[in-house]
Amino acid sequence: MAAVFDINTGFRSSAVATINAGLETITVAVATLGPTEAVVELERAQQRLAGLKHQVIADHIHSDGNTRDAEKLLANSKASRNTKRRIVNRAKAVGRNASLGDKLANDELSEEQLDLIADASAKSNGAGAVDETLIADIAAADPDKGRSIKDDWLAARASVDGTQTEHDRQRALRRTQSYNSKKTGLGVTTLEGDSVSQRAVNEAIAARSKQIYKRDGGRDLPTSKHPRTRAQREYDAAYELICGVTIRPDGSPTPEPDSPTPANKPTNRLARPRVVITMTLDEFIGNDPAQVARQIGLGVIPQSVLAGYAEYADIIAALFDANGEPLWLARMQRHASSAQYLALVLRDRGCVLCGTPPSQCDAHHRIPWNAPAKGKTNINELALLCTLCHTKLHADHHTLYQDPASRHWKIRSALPHEIPPARPQHPPPQRE
């Protein structure tokens, strides 16, 4: 009797057995390492596997960009739909430039950095995936700063007509949806719209959430003692803005709290700009209509949005040196500290550590003004930090410095004369 063997099946079984044996070898080897070294080696192995995975998926993306077959490869994955979408987008970039997969496997790029390159590629008809300067710049920066690098790259290649067309397309598709979540049993309301209005909505919610944080005790109350989580504050912020009420943590309404400005508190914060647009002088006076204006924290904006802003905006003139440092800034009827804050927005474009939009940031003294070293309120000694990074920086007794080569802001341990006195502890506000 003759025996019939499926050679392909045999090879596949052997390959799977080899992979499983390799995983078992890794498991045994990791047990012999210290925890720090084990994590380093596991991350390195994970990067190798990630590079292979994205290359395999890239091989199943059609030349016309159809990703249906590639998506089928992830059908059994337990990852969320958003994660699967990011994987496929990365694979599309790898398909355009195989070296991206090699860089991922060799730990020269992280998956977050590859996400940025993939996004640039998707918005530039593939050009972002093969631009070696863009790839090198993103690889050299952390993902938060890499986002600004990607946005700058896209802005430099944007056209007036293309930006307006995309904005009009998004506006035509705007909608809201309400439904009940089967998973949580909660009511859900979603807002889908153009990037300009979505940015405005998100920043309004973030600003209101910050007010709620302060109402609940702010930095004087440990995080574990706060009556609301960050997610709960953001929901309550949206509810308050839409319904025109102020609510307690239990959802009951309360009158809007009076918040007079203390005598020792500067009032310039009320004059902070909500939207900051940058453009060249030629664009402003109409000599170069092909240039595209940019909204800091968002990116390029269409002419229709720029025209709408111009109806009520103040016009500001600023000069910068080659490194982007403000040299001169002028405006009318503004406090000097407001001008300084605006200069920081133009220079930093958001939190210098995590990239949070400037509307959610404070001007941080590199050396605190009440530290023994007596920090000064000068532009070159200030930087924008979001509340979370600002609080953590002080709590960890760290300070900022700007790398002279990359111009990126980095952290180091603060010296004794750079550390301010501890903040006094205040009891949380009394609630009715």
Q: Angle at Cα 111 formed by Cα 108 and Cα 116, nearest 5°?
A: 95
Mean pLDDT of the chain: 81
Residue-wise pLDDT tens digits, 279-301: 776 776 666 778 888 888 788 88
| CA gap 280, 288 in Å, rounded | 9
At residue 1, the pLDDT reads 40
At residue 306, the pLDDT reads 80
pLDDT at 116 exceeding the cut of 90? yes
- pLDDT tier at 333, thresholds 50, 70, 90: very low
- pLDDT tier at 9, thresholds 50, 70, 90: low
| CA gap 81, 245 in Å, rounded | 35
pLDDT at 169 exceeding the cut of 60? yes
pTM (2 d.p.):
0.63
Q: Which residues pair with 180 in a beta bridge?
A: 187
pLDDT at 270 exceeding the cut of 60? no
Q: What are phi and psi of 223, to 5 degrees?
A: -55, -40
**Domain map of the chain by residue range?**
10-157, 194-257, 316-426
- pLDDT tier at 129, thresholds 50, 70, 90: very high
At residue 263, the pLDDT reads 38
Average pLDDT over residues 191-220: 92
Greatest mean pLDDT among 100-114, 295-309, 351-365 lies in 100-114
Average pLDDT over residues 408-414: 88
How many CB atoms sit inside 10 A of residue 168's CB? 13
Average pLDDT over residues 370-382: 78
SS (H, E, C) the chain: CCCCCCHHHHHHHHHHHHHHHHHHHHHHHHCCCCHHHHHHHHHHHHHHHHHHHHHHHHCCCCCCCCCHHHHHCCCCCCCCHHHHHHHHHHHHHHHHCHHHHHHHHCCCCCHHHHHHHHHHHHCCCCHHHHCHHHHHHHHHCCHHHHHHHHHHHHHHHCCHHHHHHHHHHHHHCCEEEEEECCCCCCEEEEEECCHHHHHHHHHHHHHHHHHHHHHCCHHHCCHHHCCCCHHHHHHHHHHHHHHCCEECCCCCEECCCCCCCCCCCCHHHHHCCCCCEECCHHHHHCCCCCCCCEECCCEECCHHHHHHHHCCCCCCEEEECCCCCEEEEECCCCCHHHHHHHHHHHHHCCCCCCCCCHHHEEEEECCCCCCCCCCCCCHHHEEEEEHHHHHHHHHCCEEEEECCCCCCEEEEECCHHHCCCCCCCCCCCCCC
The proportion of the chain whose per-residue pLDDT surpasses 70, expressed as a percent, equals 82
Comparing 96 with 19, which gets the higher pLDDT? 96
At residue 298, the pLDDT reads 82
pLDDT at 392 exceeding the cut of 80? yes
- pLDDT tier at 89, thresholds 50, 70, 90: very high
pLDDT at 382 exceeding the cut of 50? yes
The proportion of the chain whose per-residue pLDDT surpasses 90, expressed as a percent, equals 29
At residue 265, the pLDDT reads 41
pLDDT at 151 exceeding the cut of 50? yes
Q: Which residue is it, tokens 């990607």? A: 150
Comparing 220 with 226, which gets the higher pLDDT? 226
- pLDDT tier at 119, thresholds 50, 70, 90: very high
Residue-wise pLDDT tens digits, 257-267: 544 444 334 33
At residue 267, the pLDDT reads 39
Residue-wise pLDDT tens digits, 36-80: 999 999 999 888 998 899 998 988 887 767 788 888 888 888 888
pLDDT at 271 exceeding the cut of 70? no
Average pLDDT over residues 131-142: 93
Q: Which residue is it, tokens 């052997």? A: 14
At residue 192, the pLDDT reads 93
User: Which residues 6+ apart lie within 8 Å of 203 measured at CB?
Assistant: 274, 297, 357, 359, 360
CB-based contact 413:394 (threshold 8 Å): no
In the chain, what's the furthest Cα-to-Cα distance?
101
